[in-house]
Amino acid sequence: MIMTITCFLIDDDDDDREIFAIAAENTGASVITAANGIDALSRLNSDLAFTPDFIFLDLNMPYLSGVDCLAHIKQINRLHDVPVIVYTTSSYGKDVEKTRQLNATHFLVKPTSLNVLIKRLSSIFSQQELPFYLDQ
């Protein structure tokens, strides 16, 4: 039996969610999405059977910032070993350092090309040894 990788993408941008889903599906992964951090935490805290293989988290979202959402995710015991990848347009050094301090697994700057995103996701899913900061 082939196990499918399940990603939980938390991103307020409709287009970014759609592009991410296309890229992930090209790698054979399935994607579940949330449009903001509050909805994501509600799902993660209420659906105890839901433990994704990877969580991808945008930083710049309304209602609850990605940094605050990351801090909350890291407090959920069953998600302790789930890689959380910051997935953002930001390449601001303070964002990179803050998310590293909160134990994000990677900081992935959103690629401008679908093919680059597919390659990045394939590398992440294969759990290759990768640097913390991933850009083009």
Indicate the pTM of the whole model.
Answer: 0.95
Q: Residues 48-63: pLDDT tens digits?
A: 999 999 999 999 999 9
The pLDDT, as a whole number, for residue 56 is 98
The pLDDT, as a whole number, for residue 61 is 94
The architecture in CATH of the region 6-126 reads 3-Layer(aba) Sandwich (3.40)
Domain boundaries defined on the chain: 6-126
What DSSP string runs through the chain?
A: -PPPPEEEEE-S-HHHHHHHHHHHHHTT-EEEEESSHHHHHHHHHH-TT---SEEEE-SS-SSS-HHHHHHHHTT-GGGTTS-EEEEES---HHHHHHHHHTT-SEEEEPPSSHHHHHHHHHHHHTT----SEE--
Q: Residues 4-26: pLDDT tens digits?
A: 899 999 999 999 999 999 999 99
- 35: pLDDT strictly greater than 90: yes
- Among 28-32, 41-45, 94-98, 131-135, the minimum mean pLDDT is found in 131-135
